[in-house]
Structure 1
Amino acid sequence: MTDVDVSNPLLAASPLPYQLPDYRAIRPEHYLPAFTEAFAAHRREIDAITTVAAAPTFENTLVPLERSGELLHDVASAFYTVSSADATPEIQEIEEALAPLMAAHTDAVQLNAELYRRIASVHSHLDDLSLTPEDRYLVERHYREMTHAGAGLDEAQKARLTEINGRLSTLTTTFEKNLLNDTNDLAVVFDDVTELDGLAEGEISAAARAAADRGIASGWLISLTLFTGHPYLGSLRNRDARARIMAASRARGTRDNANDNRPVLREIVRLRAERAELLGYRSHADYVTSDETAGNPEAVRELLFRLSAPAARNARTEQAALQAMADAEPEPFTIEAHDWAYFTEKVRAAEYDIDAAALRPWFEAERVLRDGVFRAATELYGITFTERPDLPGYHPDVRVFEVFNADGSALGLYLLDLYTRDTKRGGAWMNSIVSQSRLRGTAPVVVNNLNVVKPATGTPTLLTLDEVTTFFHEFGHALHGLFATVTYPHFAGTNVFRDFVEFPSQVNEMWIFWPEILAAYARHIETDEPLPAHVVERLSASESFNQGFATSEYLAASWLDQAWHSLSAADAASDRDVAAFEASALAEIGLDSPAVPTRYSSTYFAHIFSGGYSAGYYSYIWSEVLDADTVEWFRESGGLTRANGDRFRDRLLGVGGSKDPLDAYRDFRGRDAEIAPLLRRRGLDG
């Protein structure tokens, strides 16, 4: 046992409730030494398992394996929470240095021949053992995952695999760093406030504040979002301003400079394809889907093709309506990508008498949180939330809430990091800092990150309807992380198949317009008047409005993901032009309309090139089949009731990853999911 630096707060038990890391005491220089000790401790724990003289059993192999790596989990969770949400240059340097070390350590465990032999031995005698269902599934998953990772390869193959994994870890970190830097560099500065005509006063003040934060004394800065479009495109009346924002967004990672992500992603694709072939698969997509509920890329392609034709048809119909409005302008023009959102809002106003931008005063962030997001969870599950300003987050903007069950017992902690900043990656997400486990005696600590523009001091934060939707969505992930109640860390929280993980979060979006929830949170910031009933009716009537565009842009990105990752090792070896590859792939599925760009182009597609969704971006629509079917069940069963919430919590959210997710779904729903509700929701059943 090596001496542990007790002065390093990451190497000592946290003094805070729920083992929340004491970020007040943690400094950047603490991370790498803590990882070094955590790697060593985990190796010692694995060695202790593999050197046991007795024959392999569940008790002497699987249980200690689940106990192992606790320090590494704690250190990694504390660090990666910060590296995604507050990646200062110093944190970025640490992450770059850490990436190959983490990959090498993971391979050392996953490819350990003796550990694999012991697990395989227990697996081969499964039917002879008296195990609980969770115990049995643990054996099955560890055996499957180690096999899938390459533990059965020979030593030469393992050496090459380790080399590939190490290089990929560096490349994905580089991709994320380049994207963050380029997103900041390409933020659009306006010198004349009249160019921002159409934005609300709070949005303009936020742009002025963002400029000032960058040292721009006189100007207005519009930061870019992760996806291709931008929330402001629906409001800006100046067509050139819209075009500048769209052009900047689509340029990310494509310029011949240090942030060029084209060579990075080409090498990622090449190495993933080689790795898949080494592991016995035709492509990376084949490799990934083989251990998801989809089973194979053909099933994914079938779903995407089934939806793409009606989505493209609906988008063409929508475009014709937009073009009619553009033709009526004093100086007519052809609708382009940067015009779509603006004229969509004009059509929405004309057809449904809804001004989306004018809804913002009804969506004040604090009220959305307490009387919307939290209230729905309280009504459905009985849980309550108490803010804990005494507990530190990793950034001053982070708020901490203690969560309690209906009986008053403590459940865990919920952290909210609402606002965008230059050090935060784009998009919105949930992650766990501490995972629940009976074996380890831990309770959950989960985080939600959004990227809402922070208004000037003293100005309320007003959300768009899209941001409200994102808030409810990410909180659905948080509920999954809070409710999962399992014995083994391997199954904790949202540790389920990638193409199932979006399902609970998408279900949680249904409460946005549930009457008693909407009436509680959607109240005017100045008058406290509820959102008028006629507006609610029109919003409901327009539910499938613009779904041709929304579905097409999403399916285009999903198909692009599949196209890159369906390449064989031989095909991926060619140094292909990224833009030409995209164009060819989108033409293949009929989603190549210039006016409807893919939600993410390759060079800023963080989900697949620096996140965990490679060959898995289809997961959102795949999960939405379950989601839409579940929403119908809730409506048929009485909606927002404790009985319904308890059933959903106990039979689905609460099981975490401790059983096959489709078995859990059948247990909850009483049958397999049907696709018809999804087709109706997205207007694809005509």
Structure 2
Amino acid sequence: MTDVANPLLTPSVLPYALPDYSAIRPEHYLPAFRAAFDEHLAEISAITQVRSMPSFQNTMVPLEQAGAMLERVAHAFYTVSSADATAEIQAIDEELAPLMAAHEDAIRLDAQLYWRVKTLHEQLDDLELDSESRYLVERHFREMTHAGAGLDDAAKSTLTALNQQLSTLTTTFEKNLLADTNDLAVFFETAEELDGLASGELSAAARAAADRGHEGGFLITLPLFTGHPYLSSLTNRESRRRIMAASRMRAARGNDNDNRAVLTEIVALRAERAALLGYSSHAAYVTADETAGSPDAVSDLLHRLAPAAASNAREEQAELQGIIDETEGQPFALEAHDWAFYTEKVRAAKYDIDTAALRPWFEAERVLQDGVFHAATQLYGVTFSERNDLVAYHPGARVFEVFNPGGSPLGLYVLDLYTRDTKRGGAWMNPIVSQSALRGTAPVVVNNLNVAQPGEGQPTLLTLDEVTTLFHEFGHALHGLFATVNYPHFAGTNVFRDFVEFPSQVNEMWILWPEVLDNYARHYETGEPLDAAIVERLRATETFNQGHDTSEYLAAAWLDQAWHRLGTQDAVTDVAAFEAEALGEIGLDNPAVPTRYSSTYFAHVFSGGYSAGYYSYIWSEVLDADTVEWFRENGGLTRENGDRFRARLLGVGGSKDPLGAYRDFRGRDAEIAPLLKRRGLG
């Protein structure tokens, strides 16, 4: 293969520079990365070898222009490695991880580059810069300092070695988790064992079994989180137990995919790195450059919310136990795998709602077109047109062109809805191309979900939770599409980790908004709208089961903090015992309400970007709940409101202090009362 044959070595000529995935082969990636590393280092060298004193034009502008090829190759590859990780792609990912870590360190720890940025930072008040350019200097200086650019050469060498080890370990964690999640998919021989599932769900299970060579059987694949959407419907208690048990034992079975030793080594190395950088723990290191500022601020919020959440969960548990005692011929003690099933019985009794029965009103295409897209059109004036002529990285991924009000082109949106064995669990958004006026690029973003795909000709009927996930992830996509910045450093969702969930959570508000819900919640066969009385009862249930839901989330957030508040002197040899102690410390050790993620499958923090940052969801929800109040006070789904939210928050990307941007939008800091009310904690 010659360099000329590698489509990654030159910018794509497709619309919006969408990578030409039809021409890209796995063997193209590593050579392209190596070429991109070399080019990026040469670009940085050209900056540091300038003999004149640093200026914004000779330092910051070329720094932002540098690395374009690497970003192009990396976005193309990491989109595939998360969504279609074949064995060949996984092998590339493992080889690449330490190379990427070493390259990133070579840039951010470069002493000459740091001197130039530091010099500009010291002169900042004397430079005549616009606000985005000034903030660019501030952020580069802060991030390079935070990364260790000010360390001596010996410490930098140690730091680089730690970063490479960690990159390899986090890649191993994800690989192990994907393999064990696939291995632990639960096989059932008969449909009777899955009584309670709808025909579409059975069809999806049959298709999954057939794909694995088990014609005639049914395979239940596992989502990333501890529970499973089917637990609320399955009437067979043993079937529920088997699914929950499989979920909770992932990557902790003593086999080749066991993550316990991997994660304890990750924790130890992160603590060692934090100490090298002058911090008491990894949590202290991470939060120092977030809006929270410190682990104590995070701890204060979690400890403020946990007691009320745990108390509410115990009340809910007692109510569920009462249902069991009254309705079961041989009563038993409620266990974790029973919670969702009996919760639906309580919901039906209290509110006359069966959430499983709502699925015919949530057909996926209608939710997308007449719900998600419709809300965005009503609020922001943007429109969407499917581009069947553009090929994404997988046949199941669809490409849509997005247009501004008035019809000017904005970017591309890619949706990859269905689960598969090569896709990691959960749901996410990532950029494929980032917007930048300096580079002349427009945004291309992708949403990945893990919805079970029904058999041929069967409709895809979503649960309410899956509808919520789609709206949530599309909120991230809008952030990526709307951010309009000069410098790629600030593109899209490149904001503080504990702010990034805010726009996505806000977008969830439109799910039950009358003019949105009325537009998409139509029976897939009859076209009948969802009954108005049911809608009202749905809205009445917004705080229902919040004790459980808040507790399982807070347990995971605290578990993340507990691992990452450890110092170099703190060694953990028993992962399960450490978890139990940590959850007991915050009062969230109720066996009937397990943590949303146990350590061995906590991908957010051990292979994703949320280490010591899983608290971000509840931290951002303070802003989210306060913003929902603003929309309600100001007329809701209007273009005027959408334009304000786009211009002052989504549109600024990372080019402004996020809390400053929020004050600009809201007129004040966020208040916590709306969150407490929403979660039933006030």
TM-score (norm 1): 0.99
Partner SS state of residue 498, structure 2: helix
The one of 610, 614, 619 equivalent to 1:617 is 614
In 1, the alpha carbon distance for the partners of 2:389 and 2:454 equals 25
In 1, the alpha carbon distance for the partners of 2:58 and 2:213 equals 60
In 2, the alpha carbon distance for the partners of 1:444 and 1:541 equals 39
Preserved contact between residue 628 and residue 681 of structure 1 (Cα < 8 Å)? yes
In 2, the alpha carbon distance for the partners of 1:495 and 1:113 equals 24
- Cα distance change, pair 76–306 in 1 and its aligned pair in 2 (3 A): same
1:66-101, CA deviations, whole angstroms, 9 ceiling, x for partnerless residues?
A: 000000000000000000000000000000000000
Alignment correspondent of 1:33: 31
Alignment correspondent of 1:17: 15
Output aligned runs, 1:190-589, within 5 Å: 190-328=188-326, 329-571=328-570, 574-589=571-586
**CA shift for structure 1 position 300:** 0.2
**CA shift for structure 1 position 219:** 1.1
Partner SS state of residue 23, structure 1: coil
Partner SS state of residue 231, structure 2: helix
In 2, the alpha carbon distance for the partners of 1:58 and 1:520 equals 50
1:335-354, CA deviations, whole angstroms, 9 ceiling, x for partnerless residues?
A: 00000000000100010000
**CA shift for structure 1 position 407:** 1.3
Preserved contact between residue 164 and residue 271 of structure 1 (Cα < 8 Å)? yes
Letter in 2 for 1:647: R
Letter in 2 for 1:163: A
Partner SS state of residue 416, structure 1: strand
Partner SS state of residue 132, structure 2: helix
Preserved contact between residue 387 and residue 399 of structure 1 (Cα < 8 Å)? yes
Alignment correspondent of 2:625: 628
Identity among equivalent pairs (%): 75
Q: Does 1:146 align with 2:144?
A: yes
Alignment correspondent of 1:113: 111
In 2, the alpha carbon distance for the partners of 1:78 and 1:286 equals 33
In 1, the alpha carbon distance for the partners of 2:572 and 2:581 equals 15
1:619-667, CA deviations, whole angstroms, 9 ceiling, x for partnerless residues?
A: 0000000000000000000000000000000000000000100000000
Preserved contact between residue 417 and residue 447 of structure 1 (Cα < 8 Å)? yes
TM-score (norm 2): 0.99
In 1, the alpha carbon distance for the partners of 2:117 and 2:10 equals 31
Alignment correspondent of 1:653: 650
In 2, the alpha carbon distance for the partners of 1:567 and 1:608 equals 14
Letter in 1 for 2:651: G
1:505-548, CA deviations, whole angstroms, 9 ceiling, x for partnerless residues?
A: 00000000110110010000111010000100100111100000
In 2, the alpha carbon distance for the partners of 1:660 and 1:56 equals 25
Letter in 1 for 2:482: F
Preserved contact between residue 4 and residue 11 of structure 1 (Cα < 8 Å)? no
Alignment correspondent of 2:66: 68
Partner SS state of residue 448, structure 1: strand
Letter in 1 for 2:248: R
Alignment correspondent of 2:128: 130
Partner SS state of residue 410, structure 2: strand
In 2, the alpha carbon distance for the partners of 1:123 and 1:558 equals 35
**CA shift for structure 1 position 284:** 0.2
In 1, the alpha carbon distance for the partners of 2:568 and 2:668 equals 40
Letter in 1 for 2:122: S
Supply the RMSD in Å over aligned alpha carbons. 0.8
Alignment correspondent of 2:89: 91
**CA shift for structure 1 position 13:** 2.1
The one of 661, 668, 675 equivalent to 1:678 is 675
1:592-640, CA deviations, whole angstroms, 9 ceiling, x for partnerless residues?
A: 0000000000000000000000000000000000000000000000000
Structure 1 stretches (4+) deviating beyond 6 angstroms?
none
In 2, the alpha carbon distance for the partners of 1:668 and 1:204 equals 47
In 1, the alpha carbon distance for the partners of 2:110 and 2:555 equals 39
In 2, the alpha carbon distance for the partners of 1:156 and 1:435 equals 35
In 2, the alpha carbon distance for the partners of 1:575 and 1:454 equals 41
**CA shift for structure 1 position 575:** 4.0
**CA shift for structure 1 position 4:** 8.2
Q: Which residues of structure 2 form unaligned runs of 5+?
A: none
Preserved contact between residue 572 and residue 578 of structure 2 (Cα < 8 Å)? no
1:321-363, CA deviations, whole angstroms, 9 ceiling, x for partnerless residues?
A: 1000111211100000000000000100010000010000000
Preserved contact between residue 4 and residue 37 of structure 1 (Cα < 8 Å)? no
In 2, the alpha carbon distance for the partners of 1:134 and 1:363 equals 42
**CA shift for structure 1 position 576:** 1.9
Preserved contact between residue 75 and residue 433 of structure 2 (Cα < 8 Å)? yes
**CA shift for structure 1 position 15:** 2.0
Preserved contact between residue 648 and residue 668 of structure 1 (Cα < 8 Å)? yes
In 2, the alpha carbon distance for the partners of 1:327 and 1:264 equals 43
Partner SS state of residue 385, structure 2: strand
In 1, the alpha carbon distance for the partners of 2:572 and 2:527 equals 59
Letter in 2 for 1:172: T
Which 10-residue stretch deviates more, 211-220 or 637-646?
Answer: 211-220
Alignment correspondent of 1:47: 45
Count, aligned residues: 681
Letter in 1 for 2:174: E
Partner SS state of residue 115, structure 2: helix
Partner SS state of residue 332, structure 2: coil
Preserved contact between residue 391 and residue 399 of structure 2 (Cα < 8 Å)? yes
**CA shift for structure 1 position 131:** 0.4
Partner SS state of residue 446, structure 1: strand
In 1, the alpha carbon distance for the partners of 2:347 and 2:11 equals 55
In 2, the alpha carbon distance for the partners of 1:679 and 1:209 equals 42
In 1, the alpha carbon distance for the partners of 2:154 and 2:572 equals 27
Q: Does 1:608 align with 2:605?
A: yes
Q: Which residues of structure 1 form unaligned runs of 5+?
A: none
In 2, the alpha carbon distance for the partners of 1:533 and 1:386 equals 31
1:198-236, CA deviations, whole angstroms, 9 ceiling, x for partnerless residues?
A: 000111111111001001123100000000000000000
In 1, the alpha carbon distance for the partners of 2:3 and 2:110 equals 29
In 1, the alpha carbon distance for the partners of 2:206 and 2:674 equals 44
The one of 84, 100, 104 equivalent to 2:98 is 100
Partner SS state of residue 431, structure 1: strand
The one of 655, 665, 669 equivalent to 1:668 is 665
The one of 169, 186, 191 equivalent to 1:188 is 186
